[in-house]
């Protein structure tokens, strides 16, 4: 019995020693994070009170990953925008570091994240639209893109216009207007190659129509032909020679066998008839 009692005491002491030796390990594991927070607090105080440039630089470098994370939320599947948005978020981070007051009791991230999001939205509104649309329509289009992504994730499919309207508390007409306005955000290059099998080597410009001056001529003929039918054959001939063949009245007179004065009377009479019929 005494041996069993002694063994029990020994086990108890071993447990105490294990807990005593393991406690410092747990404290040391959390110490780097504690030291980092303490250094950041000191840097924020130095930056706010003394405008310490080195402290400011350390804070900016420490929170750049946060700025990159905020920027990625606004890419919406367009990686070409990521670099520009990261720069906007980084500039907003600099503003947040300069304006943050450590004495207000709030964490820096709770102040910096809304600042960066606001600057990014302002950048989208003012600089990324190929065609300028009203501000309220721009803001609604940006908001609906986020709502559409969230609703698509919840439904597991693309939402209908009515579902998106119910989710966003907008009318279907407002949804359609905003989605059409989103198409004005990014322009397209005329030099962009077409992707179809039948369009190999062709650009978008080659697929677009061009101005055709013959349309104006066709419209004029469609209007004039019924009017010219009201004239006599001699009047039509004189007008055609004078206006289309660019002949002088003397040349017309020799061609049809009459004097220049008579050609002038025929021409003026024919034009007067055309004007009267056109009215």
State pLDDT tens for residues 65-112. 999 999 988 887 677 788 899 999 999 999 999 989 888 878 899 999
Residues of the chain with CATH 1.10.1740.10: 19-128
The answer to whether residues 107 and 63 touch, using CB atoms and an 8 Å cutoff, is no
User: What sign has the CA pseudo-torsion 205, 211, 212, 213?
Assistant: negative
pLDDT value at residue 11: 52
The answer to whether residues 90 and 82 touch, using CB atoms and an 8 Å cutoff, is no
Could you tell me the maximum CA-CA distance found in the chain, to the nearest angstrom?
A: 155
pLDDT value at residue 214: 81
Task: State which fold the 19-128 domain adopts.
Answer: Rna Polymerase Sigma Factor; Chain: A (1.10.1740)
pLDDT value at residue 2: 43
Residues of the chain with CATH 1.10.10.10: 129-210, 222-278
Task: State which fold the 222-278 domain adopts.
Answer: Arc Repressor Mutant, subunit A (1.10.10)
Distance in angstroms (rounded) separating the CA atoms of residues 231 and 233 = 7
Distance in angstroms (rounded) separating the CA atoms of residues 235 and 109 = 88
Give the number of other CB atoms < 10 A from CB of residue 94.
Answer: 14
Q: Which residues of the chain have pLDDT under 50?
A: 1-10, 12-13, 15-29
pTM over 0.85: no
Distance in angstroms (rounded) separating the CA atoms of residues 158 and 178 = 16
CATH number (3.60.20.10, 1.10.10.10, 3.30.1330.10, 3.40.50.300) of 129-210 reads: 1.10.10.10
């Amino acid at each position: 019995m005494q041996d069993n009692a002694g063994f029990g005491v020994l086990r108890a002491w071993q447990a105490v020693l294990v807990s005593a030796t393991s406690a410092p390990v747990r404290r040391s594991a959390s110490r780097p994070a504690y030291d980092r927070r303490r250094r950041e607090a000191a840097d924020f105080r130095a930056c706010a009170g003394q405008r310490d440039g080195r402290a400011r630089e350390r804070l900016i470098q420490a929170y750049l990953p946060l700025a990159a994370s905020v920027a990625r939320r606004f890419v919406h599947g367009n990686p070409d925008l990521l670099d520009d948005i990261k720069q906007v978020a980084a500039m907003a981070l600099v503003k947040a570091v300069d304006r943050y007051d450590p004495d207000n009791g709030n964490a820096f991230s709770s102040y910096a994240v809304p600042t960066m999001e606001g600057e990014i939205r302002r950048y989208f509104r003012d600089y990324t639209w190929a065609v300028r649309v009203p501000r309220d329509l721009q803001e609604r289009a940006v908001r609906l893109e986020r709502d559409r992504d969230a609703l698509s994730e919840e439904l597991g499919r693309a939402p209908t216009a009515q579902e998106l309207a119910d989710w966003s508390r907008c009318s279907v007409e407002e949804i359609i207007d905003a989605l059409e306005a989103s198409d004005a955000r990014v322009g397209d290059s005329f030099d962009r190659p077409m992707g179809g099998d039948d369009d190999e080597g062709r650009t978008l410009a080659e697929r677009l129509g061009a101005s055709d001056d013959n349309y104006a001529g066709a419209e004029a003929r469609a209007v004039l032909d019924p009017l010219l039918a009201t004239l006599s054959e001699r009047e039509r001939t004189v007008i055609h020679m004078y206006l289309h063949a660019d002949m002088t009245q003397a040349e017309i007179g020799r061609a049809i066998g009459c004097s220049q004065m008579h050609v002038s009377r025929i021409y003026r009479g024919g034009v007067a008839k055309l004007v009267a019929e056109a009215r």
